[in-house]
Amino acid sequence: MDNQRLLIWAFFGVMVWMTYQAWVQDYGPKPEAVSPTEVEAPDAPPQEGTPPDVDGLPQLVVEEQDLPTTARPAAEAQAPDSAPLDAPVIHVTTDVFDIEINTRGGTLQRAVLPRYPVAKDRPDEPVQLLSASATDIGLIRSGVRSLNGRASADSAAQFEVPRLSYALGSTDEIVVPLTWSDDTGVTVRKEFRFRRGSYRIDLEQTLANGSSAEWRGDGFVQIVRRFAEQERSMFDVDSYSFAGPIIFNGESSEKLDRDDLLEDGPAQYTTTNGWLAAIQHHFLSAAVPEADKAHIFHIKLAKDMATQSVIATTVSVAPGDEHTFRQTLFVGPKLQAQLEEIHPRLKLTVDYGFLTILSQPLFWLLSKAYALFANWGVAIISVTILIKLVFYKLTESSGRSMAKMRNLQPRIKALQERYKEDRQQLSQAMMDLYKREKVNPAAGCLPILIQMPFFLAFYWVLLESVEMRQAPFALWITDLSSRDPYFILPVIMGASMFLQQKLNPQVGDPVQVKVMQIMPIIFTAFFAFFPSGLVLYWVTNTVLSIAQQWKINKVVEAESKQKKGGKKKKEKAKD
């Protein structure tokens, strides 16, 4: 096996894969843009416990009258950038949120995250996850629906509220109540609960049946979000990540591809302990129903409007009784500690791809190192050192083979000169030499095979972990999740790779050797656009490899001299 050739193809394979990830686009016709009023959400699916006579019941649809004014065509809006005049808006501020709740339906129509600027150079412009803008609509609707012909406290219902402004202040919790009632005595109380430092929003919808007849119905939460077709660019880190619906069916998570939903129609699951979310790079909006209770999950995409519904099983409420539908919402950054508190598998919304099994432990290690050093760059360096120590013994045997190969270079060149006209004889002579000297030319593959999974895992951890978003390291590196602005770190990496080459033997035909010599230049160009945290990992790993190989070379060289000295003594003794 040709060690150098494998090295070339392994690295080129990774680079081609990453370039493909950055540039891949579909060349088919793009879906036309659509206004929110043209899109219907999924019809309410049949539910367990629902009686058969349910035709004609209120459906979960996105109708123009259900949306805030800013989501309608401008010509029909009653007041720009505001809700309809008959639907006041509740303004809620906490230490992590700036939220608007429309009193029509109790719809979350705006969520701004003041702690997360959209870019490092725009610190005063925070990320906005929910919006009533027609071009970037994102809403979380909820309600209680009657299934026996009565009025429903759904997304079109007008709720009463005690006040229109809430601030966390010095308290640790805010409860925002909304109330709706019909003319028969049925009352629905909806409560949103916000906590200090948390992006979790607890939602309780309590139906009190004050009428003289049984009430029968369900509760729902619905995420309405526009997802335009993604255009990927090597120069835009955000475009690397999946943006769209994701669902957990109780056993595994599934990202719902845009084309599949358009071609195959809505996706539907009935499960306990599930959840659904609308994800984008570093952020998400999620709905997690009560655990251990069956819910129907329904996801529909009409052109570029995704509607994701969580519908509770039908219940019956006797006169004088009440029933509470509970949901947990999450609107914010993909902070894995907070996500895990809500649901143990909600952290799967952090899209590490097929290397999740390696990326999650790696992130855990980085988090522990960050807790110790309070710097993500130092955490990356320390974890790289730890990985190097764990695999030291494995890579040491490879390093010894490389050192022995280096010492054999004069003899290998002599064989090449002797058999330059007979490549078959040359190969046989070199194999005999390797066998006599107990050298394995393929051993140099081991470090590459070990490094490759960690390289890819680091790539996704740095790309997807919001904890490292805009995280500074030192000096000119102010954001480990984006490229080095001055390309200094990639140049250092290229120089270290060049030095590493000088420590290792250059074997193979002249063309192959020349290709290997320009590899540092090629990789410098590739890594110039990778996250600087990833380049920092590779620089650290290369420097450690250089130090390890230098030490091994010295040890092997000393052993070789000692061995030669022993042979000479034996020869003199014979004489």
- Delimit the domains of the chain by residue range: 33-87+140-350, 364-574
Q: At 192, which helix (H) or strand (E)?
A: strand 186-195
pLDDT higher than 80, residue 232: no
Compute the CA torsion angle 61, 66, 69, 71 (nearest 10 deg): -20
> pTM of the predicted model, to two decimals?
0.76
pLDDT higher than 70, residue 234: no
Contact 556, 533 (CB under 8 A): no
CA–CA separation, 118 vs 114, rounded Å? 10
pLDDT higher than 50, residue 222: yes
With bands split at pLDDT 50, 70 and 90, how would you rate the model's confidence at 117? very high
Structure tokens at 400: 């010894």
- Paired with 202 in beta bridges are 193, 328
With bands split at pLDDT 50, 70 and 90, how would you rate the model's confidence at 28? very low
Residue predicted with more confidence, 21 or 373: 373
- Cβ-based burial of 559 (10 A; exposed 0-12, middle 13-18, buried ≥19): middle
pLDDT of residue 528: 85
With bands split at pLDDT 50, 70 and 90, how would you rate the model's confidence at 179? very high
The model's pLDDT over 133-156, given as tens digits with 9 standing for 90+, comes to: 877 889 999 999 998 877 788 888
Nearest CA-CA partner of 479 in 504, 491, 462 = 462
pLDDT of residue 226: 87
Contact 564, 474 (CB under 8 A): no
Structure tokens at 21: 């990830």
- The pLDDT of 176-204, averaged and rounded, is 95
Q: 3-class DSSP state for residue 128?
A: strand
Q: What is the percentage of the chain residues whose pLDDT exceeds 70?
A: 72
pLDDT of residue 530: 83
Could you give the angle at the alpha carbon of 326 between the alpha carbons of 321 and 332, nearest 5°? 160
- Paired with 322 in beta bridges are 208
Phi, psi of 63 (to 5 degrees): -105, 155
CB atoms within 10 A of CB 145: 23
Could you give the angle at the alpha carbon of 503 between the alpha carbons of 502 and 504, nearest 5°? 95
- The pLDDT of 194-220, averaged and rounded, is 95
Residues 6 or more apart whose CB falls under 8 angstroms from that of 384 comprise 537, 540, 541, 544
Contact 14, 456 (CB under 8 A): yes
Q: 3-class DSSP state for residue 126?
A: strand
The model's pLDDT over 263-279, given as tens digits with 9 standing for 90+, comes to: 888 888 898 899 999 99
The mean of the pLDDT values for the chain is: 78
207-245 core/surface letters (b: 16 or more CB in 10 A; e: else): bbbebeeebbbbbbbbbbbbbeebeeeeeebebbbbbbb
Residue with tokens 């394979």: 13
pLDDT of residue 340: 93
Residues 6 or more apart whose CB falls under 8 angstroms from that of 388 comprise 395, 541, 544, 545, 548
pLDDT higher than 50, residue 37: no
Contact 531, 237 (CB under 8 A): yes
Q: How far is CA 307 from CA 104, 154, 485, 509, in A?
A: 18, 16, 39, 60
pLDDT of residue 58: 36
- The pLDDT of 363-374, averaged and rounded, is 93
Q: Which has the minimum average pLDDT: 18-32, 449-463, 507-521?
A: 18-32
pLDDT higher than 80, residue 84: no
pLDDT of residue 215: 93
- The pLDDT of 522-532, averaged and rounded, is 84
CB atoms within 10 A of CB 51: 10
Q: Which has the minimum average pLDDT: 9-18, 148-157, 190-199, 561-570?
A: 9-18
Q: How far is CA 381 from CA 32, 160, 210, 387, 395, in A?
A: 47, 55, 64, 10, 19
Contact 326, 333 (CB under 8 A): no
pLDDT of residue 206: 96
pLDDT higher than 70, residue 103: yes
CA–CA separation, 63 vs 86, rounded Å? 17
Q: Which has the minimum average pLDDT: 150-164, 197-211, 389-403, 543-557?
A: 389-403
- The pLDDT of 159-186, averaged and rounded, is 94
With bands split at pLDDT 50, 70 and 90, how would you rate the model's confidence at 308? very high
Structure tokens at 561: 């001299």
Q: Which has the minimum average pLDDT: 39-48, 369-378, 509-518?
A: 39-48
pLDDT higher than 60, residue 79: no
With bands split at pLDDT 50, 70 and 90, how would you rate the model's confidence at 527? confident
Nearest CA-CA partner of 121 in 485, 547, 404 = 485
Contact 1, 445 (CB under 8 A): yes
- The pLDDT of 230-258, averaged and rounded, is 76
CB atoms within 10 A of CB 174: 19
Three-class DSSP labels, 545-570: HHHHHHHHHHHHHHHHHHHHHHHHHH
pLDDT of residue 181: 94
pLDDT higher than 50, residue 6: no
Residues 6 or more apart whose CB falls under 8 angstroms from that of 237 comprise 281, 463, 481, 482, 531
The top-level CATH class assigned to 33-87+140-350 is mainly beta
pLDDT higher than 80, residue 9: no
